[in-house]
Amino acid sequence: MSMVHVSGLTYRIVAAENGTYDAFRLLDDVRVGSFRDAGFHVASQIGTDGALLRRIAQTAMRAALTGWTATARIT
């Protein structure tokens, strides 16, 4: 479990399964959505801004709070 601060609010990041994470708004413990580190897929809950969830996911990945790692593409 990790915390990130985005747009003035704090979100709890919980590993749901391998490579998938749920984001909960700490203020009222509401799940705002989930994201996967492979391919950067986000799924926001109804009424949650998808752009906000993307910022939450990006912040968590940049802070190394997920298992995401950059891989080089060889062509």
12 near 2, Cβ under 8 Å? yes
Say what the pLDDT of residue 40 is: 61
Say what the pLDDT of residue 22 is: 92
Q: Report the distance separating Cα 72 and Cα 68, nearest Å.
A: 13
Say what the pLDDT of residue 73 is: 40
57 near 68, Cβ under 8 Å? no
Q: Report the distance separating Cα 75 and Cα 31, nearest Å.
A: 39
Q: What is the pTM of this model?
A: 0.76
pLDDT along the chain (75 residues), means of 10: 92 90 93 81 74 89 68 39
Strands 9-17 and 41-44: unpaired
Say what the pLDDT of residue 8 is: 94
